[in-house]
Amino acid sequence: MKKLLVKSSGFGSSSDYRPTLLLLHGWGMNSNVWKPVLPALESRYQIHLVDLPGHGINNDVNADSMQNIVALFSDLIDELGQEKVHIMGWSLGGLIAQALADEIPEKIQSLTLVASTLRFSQDESTESLWPHAMSLKVLNNFAINLHKDTEGTLKRFIALQFMGVAGSKEIQRALVQDICPAEDKAASSEKVPKSRGVKSGVTSDSLTLGLKLLAESDFRNSVSQHPQHWLFAGKDRLIPADVINDLKSLRSDAQITLLENAGHAPFMTHPDEFVSAVSTFIDTLE
């Protein structure tokens, strides 16, 4: 199995101790999503940007289960030479962060979970009602459309993340360029089925696995062993802020921040507020 590549920055001088922060992006994206907050984070922490398996610079790294992903990240943390790391995961990256905390707790110092949740899909059974989440029907439609039009599905997903957020059009355009860069369009102009996943170095297998993890991952019964900071957004159409009340009953010791005017990607539209909330949490642990 190939190893994960990582982009690292923010080390400062040899005498300048900085906590280590591992950043995990969301479904269909790559580590470019963190650009709006990267300079501010680099001034405070040792930053390690990781493209998920099948994404970005790791598009040739294969993983077919959450267990595979955990194993890859466990090896990566060892290679970084860190005893423990702070992890910040956005959306799907937040689910992966929780899996890492469950499976390799000795390597994790804290979790910062951005626009994420304990369970991404709805559970409407009478025994375990979890209504404040995306319906399985919507996730299934994403899976169906993904194989018909990979680029179009990713673009619609990007638009959904910013719906109702003022002044986000330019951010959306820049994100589309990062995820579907011009050089990939030349490759995709050949007669290659869109379902092959040629856009932005994202493989269709990794996108399919991501949707499976979003539909099936459930951390409601996990025992929290690490300090947790959950950041929600008031205009998030994917993870509604109403889930906060459900979260409080299951993670009573977690810190929770709500950015009222942000959408699913608060670090892109409200970077200053976001960095302030993140650093306040992590710095109190050091």
Task: Return the active site residues.
Answer: 91, 236, 264
- 145 burial (CB, 10 Å; 0-12 / 13-18 / 19+) is middle
3-state SS assignment for residue 141? helix
What is the distance between the alpha carbons of residues 69 and 49, in angstroms, rounded to a whole number?
Answer: 15
Q: Give me 136's structure tokens.
A: 């399985």
Cα separation of 76 and 202, whole Å?
20
Strand partners, 89: 24, 113
What whole-number distance in Å separates Cα of residue 189 and Cα of residue 192?
Answer: 8
250 Cα distance to chain centroid = 21
E-strand stretches of the chain: 7-9, 20-24, 46-50, 85-90, 108-114, 228-233, 255-259
Q: How far apart are CA 105 and CA 93, in angstroms?
A: 17
Distance (Å, rounded) from C-alpha 33 to C-alpha 156? Answer: 16
**Joined tokens for residue 102:** 């469950």
Whether the CB-CB separation of 239 and 213 falls below 8 Å is answered with no
- In order of 74, 227, 245, 269, the CA distances from 124 in angstroms are 34, 29, 17, 32
CA distance 28 to 153: 10
